[in-house]
Chains A and B, each alone.
Chain A
Amino acid sequence: ILNVEQSPQSLHVQEGDSTNFTCSFPSSNFYALHWYRWETAKSPEALFVMTLNGDEKKKGRISATLNTKEGYSYLYIKGSQPEDSATYLCAFRQAGTALIFGKGTTLSVSS
């Protein structure tokens, strides 16, 4: 059974704080690693897709790194804003298989 683990489960930070989350996945037969942002009462939206070991992606204040050999990815948010409050989902995929989602890290940013 393939498991994708995310930590922490939830996180509360103050506006302006920088933060990061971890996604751990099986290191064998790696194909792709996705990050999604899921706001309450909305549907998940794609943030990044990473496929190569050492990949780094950036979108505004949010960035992500990938280590396929050790099976982890980090998501960083610099200078958190209240609008960053959401659940951040990591999803892992092996070749020929469906995405396997983690349970997410729920971020709450207070002003």
Chain B
Amino acid sequence: DTAVSQTPKYLVTQMGNDKSIKCEQNLGHDTMYWYKQDSKKFLKIMFSYNNKELIINETVPNRFSPKSPDKAHLNLHINSLELGDSAVYFCASSHPNRGRRGDQYFGPGTRLLVL
């Protein structure tokens, strides 16, 4: 069974479109994250949710909005897609009760290409 899953795996779309990426974890974790891997392969945090509540929101355009219907899901909705949004987006989860020792478990990534 996949611990952290993301759909779709690949997403090719036109500039200006609105798209969503879904993430689900079956690990019973309370905290979920979205990361963006930029063109330089650098992994940067975008958002973090704990028990459906936003706890970290890094400098990300307002066109990006995370939505957490329950603690097992954290979806990423992107409005008015731009060329610069092309990247690989990774979802991750962790168990906060493990404190500082809590590893993050990553999904397989969604490769977004905006044309």
B residues less than 8 Å from A49 (CB atoms): 100-103
Least CB distance, A97 to chain B, in whole angstroms: 8
B104 touches A103 (CB 8 A): no
**Segment from B11-19, B35-43, B64-72, B73-81 that makes contact with A:** B35-43
Number of A-B contacts (CB under 8 A): 45
CA of A45 to CA of B104, assembled, Å: 8
Tell me the chain B residues, 39-74 only, with Cβ under 8 Å from chain A: 40-45, 48, 56, 58
Q: What's the interface size class on B, roughly?
A: 20 to 34
Q: Is the CB of B106 within 8 A of A32?
A: no
Known A98-B33, A98-B56: A46·B103 in contact at CB below 8 Å = yes
Whether A43 and B106, one on each chain, are in contact in the complex, defined by CB atoms closer than 8 angstroms, is yes
Tell me what chain A mostly uses at the interface: helix, strand, loop, or mixed.
strand
| Docked-complex contact B104 and A46, CB < 8 angstroms | yes
B44 near A101 (CB under 8 angstroms)?
A: yes
Instruction: Pick from B43, B58, B90, B106 the residue with the most CB of A within 10 Å.
Output: B43
Chain B residues with Cβ below 8 Å from A87 are 41
Q: What is the interface of chain A, defined by CB distance below 8 A to chain B?
A: 31-32, 34, 42-46, 49, 51, 87, 89, 93, 97-101, 103-104
The 19 listed contacts between A and B (C-beta, < 8 Å) are A31-B100, A34-B103, A43-B4, A43-B90, A43-B107, A44-B106, A46-B103, A46-B104, A49-B101, A49-B102, A51-B101, A93-B100, A98-B45, A98-B48, A99-B104, A101-B43, A101-B44, A103-B41, A103-B42
